[in-house]
Amino acid sequence: MRKRVPIVIGGGVALLVASQYLNFGLGFRDGNGIDGEAEDPALASIEEAIMEAENFTPEITPGSSANESAEMELVPVEPELPDVVDILIDGNQYWIAINASDLNQREAKTIEEILAMISTLEGDASGIRVRIARTPDAVASAEAAILLRLKEAGLPDDAVDSRRQLVER
């Protein structure tokens, strides 16, 4: 213990001295400029241009044409619905994938909403229209309820892919 303390203190001092010359980024100023302003005029003009670009807002005049305002409008993009209703049962809730490209984006839906969604989809190439997965917190009665309602709605058993393996949310 006695030998380690001087070594650690000496290493710390050596690090501070080296940081002054090698710029390790320990937060010490090197003495160039006042409050971080650059002394080099070229660097100062670049910093000024960056500041102007960050504060730039386009001006819209009342007399601008309809074409210009149409170009400025943003149109929300509707997410592409998947071919299969992907249901994740977590507790008593049914989480449905709402985007075909990102199956991690999910919304909680009721059984009636799920049945309405299934009626609008054709299914994938193998005929599967519903894929059911469960989390470790899923309640067995929630899975039984959705399977029962799917049978009552007239969906054949081979159109439902019910996975036995648990998945994480």
Q: What band does 81 get if pLDDT is binned at 50, 70 and 90? A: low
Model pLDDT, residue 145: 92
CATH architecture, domain defined by 85-166: 2-Layer Sandwich (3.30)
User: Over 80: is that where the pLDDT of 131 sits?
Assistant: yes
CA distance linking residue 32 with residue 98, whole number of Å: 54
Does residue 97 have a pLDDT over 80?
yes
Other beta carbons within 10 angstroms of residue 139's beta carbon come to 14
- Whether the pLDDT of residue 126 is over 60: the answer is yes
* pLDDT at position 15: 78
Alpha-carbon torsion 34, 36, 42, 48, what sign? Answer: negative
The pLDDT of residue 62 is above 70: no
Domain boundaries, the chain: 4-56, 85-166
Q: Can you give the pLDDT at residue 148? A: 92
- C-alpha distances (whole Å) from 54 to each of 18, 35, 40, 51, 71 are 36, 20, 21, 5, 22
Q: Is residue 113 over pLDDT 60?
A: yes
